[in-house]
């Protein structure tokens, strides 16, 4: 596997940090031992944890107002994959990349697969895009895509999704994520039922094109780009459509796609119970679909989501196989640093959830001992599991201090020389 950061630099950095890490690790190990928890077993589970990186997150993101590109912006999927390999070399829990078409479309997908293989990367769910018009596109998506009142436009959107499946098959992916921005901006603009009936007809055509081992991830979102109604606006409509389409259709939860204060962990529990949880687009938000770094504002909510996920694993919940992916927009940070940080934050939520004393929790729940049940969860959340995360990284060949080692490598400055800026800033998410 080709690595782009000098491995002796990583080893050097780790060597200087290892004594302190070992001390912290042993201290935490002794503490966990008192609760009958073997830190080694937890570290092994942490070392197996994986979360996929969004290809579109490796470039600087923006808003409708502006995008302020940084230096060494990746200009194509090959350079995006190079940046993803640097992220994985440092944190060793991001082996897969989720591509987005046509942003990542190439003429030779076998070549792209080979390029990723050389970097030790694979592909998670592929994403279609019928929320933008492409140059030379025959039918516009201005008034919708899979739900457009014009049959030719719907057919065009269906054909694009089926093409994404074909490209994904060559890349070794086994899932298609379908997020559509279809909706309305005025009361009366759309007939809600007929619009959803058109969605189901189109989605059924996409569903029927899925290979046997593939899944279709339906992603709901409350609003934007439509601001009065959105066809797949919440988990309710999402799961109804997934049930209507069939076993291979599941509901994907993007954390930023809910109204503030919605109990997302409960939605997750519902989707787990009905074997319809596709997986996640992890990020954080304060107001709308802000696509901020995962765990940067609501780490407790993210922990509570993983508490539901680990509980399902603990109970061997049938049909439980969620895909973990990040979906963020890095407007003011180096995207590589934000993605390394966010991968670690998601892994941190998982490890803290592993440390919940589930049998004690069940006891307190059954006896309605609310305070002890809440404290049992909080006890795990309040543990500093950083030594476990760092030890898992170093054992997987990664960096004890990813950002410090990445900065020491000078990778971004070198990318700035190799990838002259296009000078184009513009606006929009990518």
Binding site for ligand LRH (CB under 6 A): 56, 127, 179, 219, 221, 254, 281, 289, 327, 429
Rounded to the nearest whole angstrom, what is the least distance from the CB of residue 254 to ligand LRH in the complex? 5
321 to 340, contacts with Mn ion by CB under 5 A?
327
127, interface contact from Mn ion, ligand LRH, none, CB < 5-8 Å by kind: ligand LRH
Interface residue with Mn ion among 258, 276, 281, 348 (CB under 5 A) is 281
2 to 31, contacts with Mn ion by CB under 5 A?
none
Rounded to the nearest whole angstrom, what is the least distance from the CB of residue 219 to Mn ion in the complex? 6
One-letter-per-residue 3-state SS of the chain? CCCCCCHHHHHHHHHHHHHHHHHHHHHHHHHHHHCCCCHHHHHHHHHHCCCEEEHHHCCECECCCCECCCCCCCCCHHHHHHHHHHHHHHHCCCCEEECECCCCCCCCHHHHHHHHHHCCCEECCEECCCCCCCCCCCCCCCCCCCCCCCHHHHHHHHHHHHHHHHHHHHHCCCEEEECCCCEECCCCCCCHHHHHHHHHHHHHHHHHCCCCCCEEEEECCCCCCCCCEECCCCHHHHHHHHHHHCCCEEEEEEHHHCCCCCCHHHHHHHHHHCCCEEEEEECECCCCCCCECCCCCCHHHHHHHHHHHHHHHHCCCCCCCCEEEECCCECCCCHHHHHHHHHHHHHHHHHHHHCCCHHHHHHHHHCCCHHHHHHHHHHHHCCCCHHHHHHHHHHCCCCCCHHHHHHHHCHHHHHHHHCCCCCCCCCCCC
Residue 289 as a binder of Mn ion (CB under 5 A): the answer is: no
Rounded to the nearest whole angstrom, what is the least distance from the CB of residue 286 to Mn ion in the complex? 17
284, interface contact from ligand LRH, Mn ion, none, CB < 5-8 Å by kind: none
101, interface contact from Mn ion, ligand LRH, none, CB < 5-8 Å by kind: none
97 to 116, contacts with Mn ion by CB under 5 A?
none
221, interface contact from Mn ion, ligand LRH, none, CB < 5-8 Å by kind: ligand LRH
Is residue 289 within 8 A of residue 221, CB to CB? The reply is yes
Residue length of the chain: 430
Size of the site for Mn ion (CB under 5 A): 3
Of 181 and 402, which CB lies nearer to Mn ion in the complex structure? 181
Of 180 and 361, which CB lies nearer to ligand LRH in the complex structure? 180
Rounded to the nearest whole angstrom, what is the least distance from the CB of residue 168 to Mn ion in the complex? 17
Rounded to the nearest whole angstrom, what is the least distance from the CB of residue 417 to ligand LRH in the complex? 29
95, interface contact from Mn ion, ligand LRH, none, CB < 5-8 Å by kind: none
Rounded to the nearest whole angstrom, what is the least distance from the CB of residue 246 to ligand LRH in the complex? 22
Residue 182-221 contact track with Mn ion, rule CB under 5 A, x = bound: ----------------------------------------
Residue 185 exposure: Cα atoms within 13 Å on the Cβ side: 7
Of 254 and 334, which CB lies nearer to Mn ion in the complex structure? 254
Of 116 and 164, which CB lies nearer to ligand LRH in the complex structure? 164
334, interface contact from Mn ion, ligand LRH, none, CB < 5-8 Å by kind: none
364, interface contact from Mn ion, ligand LRH, none, CB < 5-8 Å by kind: none
Residue 254 as a binder of Mn ion (CB under 5 A): the answer is: yes
φ, ψ of residue 299 in degrees (nearest 5)? -60, -30
Rounded to the nearest whole angstrom, what is the least distance from the CB of residue 89 to ligand LRH in the complex? 25
Of 162 and 429, which CB lies nearer to ligand LRH in the complex structure? 429
The footprint of Mn ion (CB under 5 A) covers 254, 281, 327
């Amino acid at each position: 596997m080709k690595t782009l950061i000098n491995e002796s630099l990583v080893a050097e950095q780790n060597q200087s940090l290892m004594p302190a890490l070992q001390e912290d690790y042993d201290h935490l190990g002794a503490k966990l031992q008192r609760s009958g928890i073997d830190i080694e077993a937890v570290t092994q589970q942490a070392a197996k944890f994986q979360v996929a990186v969004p290809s579109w997150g490796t470039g600087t993101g923006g808003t409708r107002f502006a995008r302020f590109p940084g230096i060494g912006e990746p200009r194509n999927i090959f350079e995006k994959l190079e940046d993803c390999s640097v992220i994985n070399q440092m944190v060793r829990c991001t082996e897969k990349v989720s591509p987005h078409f046509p942003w990542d479309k190439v003429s030779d997908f076998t070549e792209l697969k080979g390029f990723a293989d050389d970097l030790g990367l694979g592909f998670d769910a592929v994403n279609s895009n019928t929320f933008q018009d492409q140059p030379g596109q025959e039918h516009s998506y201005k008034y919708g895509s899979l739900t457009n009142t014009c049959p030719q436009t719907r057919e065009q959107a269906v054909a694009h999704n089926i093409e994404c499946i074909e490209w994904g098959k060559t890349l070794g992916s086994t899932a298609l994520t379908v997020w559509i921005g279809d909706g309305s901006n005025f009361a009366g603009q759309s007939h809600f039922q007929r619009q959803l009936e058109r969605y189901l007809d189109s989605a059924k055509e996409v569903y029927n094109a899925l290979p046997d081992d593939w899944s279709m991830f339906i992603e709901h979102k409350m609003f934007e780009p439509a601001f009065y109604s959105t066809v797949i606006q919440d988990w309710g409509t999402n799961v109804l459509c997934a049930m209507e389409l069939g076993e291979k259709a599941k509901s994907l939860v993007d954390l930023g796609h809910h109204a503030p204060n919605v109990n997302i962990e409960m939605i997750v529990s519902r989707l787990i119970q009905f074997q319809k949880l596709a997986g996640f687009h992890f990020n954080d938000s304060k107001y709308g679909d802000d696509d901020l770094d995962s765990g940067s504002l609501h780490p407790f909510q993210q922990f509570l989501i993983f508490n539901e996920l680990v509980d399902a694993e603990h109970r061997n919940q049938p049909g439980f196989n969620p895909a973990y992916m990040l979906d963020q927009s890095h407007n003011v940070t180096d995207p590589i640093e934000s993605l390394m940080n966010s991968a670690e934050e998601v892994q941190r939520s998982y490890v803290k959830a592993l440390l919940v004393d589930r049998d004690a929790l069940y006891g307190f729940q059954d006896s309605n001992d609310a305070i002890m049940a809440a404290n049992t969860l909080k006890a795990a959340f309040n543990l500093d599991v950083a030594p476990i995360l760092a030890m898992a990284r170093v054992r997987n060949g990664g960096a004890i201090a990813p950002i410090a080692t990445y900065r020491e490598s000078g990778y971004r400055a070198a990318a700035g020389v190799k990838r002259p800026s296009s000078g184009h800033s513009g606006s929009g998410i990518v």
